[in-house]
Amino acid sequence: MKRLLCIDLGSRRVGLALSDPLKIFASPFLTLNFTNKKKLIAELLVIVEKQDIERVIIGYPLNENGTESPGCRSSEDLARQLTARGIKTELWDERYTSMGAESILKEAGLNWRKAIDKIDKVAASLILEDYIKTKEG
């Protein structure tokens, strides 16, 4: 059975989360350093193949009032580029996930310095968890 991959796209870091093959659970996976879109696409293509990914869920950073933020274009562009390579993608509202990730890591007792490299992949897992509950559940 194939998995879902979720991407929390940031300007410096990209958080990734994976579902289990039954698409019940979402788990933080990796944090990639974002240097340029071409390198990111190459890294994602390798992950999609190695992890047997069925669909890529991309965080869509809407404003609190539901309007598109400047970051929405980056998410849309990434979705277009992956779709052009034959990968199924879906944009998913990611409002509040970074705050939720920070809260989870703070509760786990991690200070900001230790948490910084984990926030993005935890945020991606929260986006994926919401997607699974809504679409797969």
Q: Taking the chain, what is the end-to-end CA distance rounded to the nearest angstrom?
A: 16
Domain locations in the chain as residue ranges: 3-136
Q: Which CATH class is domain 3-136?
A: alpha beta
Q: How far, in Å, CA of 35 to CA of 33, rounded?
A: 6
Res 122: pLDDT:
86
Where the chain has pLDDT below 50, the residues are none
pLDDT (0 to 100) of residue 97: 66
pTM: 0.87
Cα–Cα distance between 74 and 60 in angstroms, integer?
Answer: 9
Q: What is the DSSP letter of 99?
A: H
The pLDDT tens digits of the residues spanning 13-51 come to 999 999 999 999 999 999 999 999 999 999 999 999 999
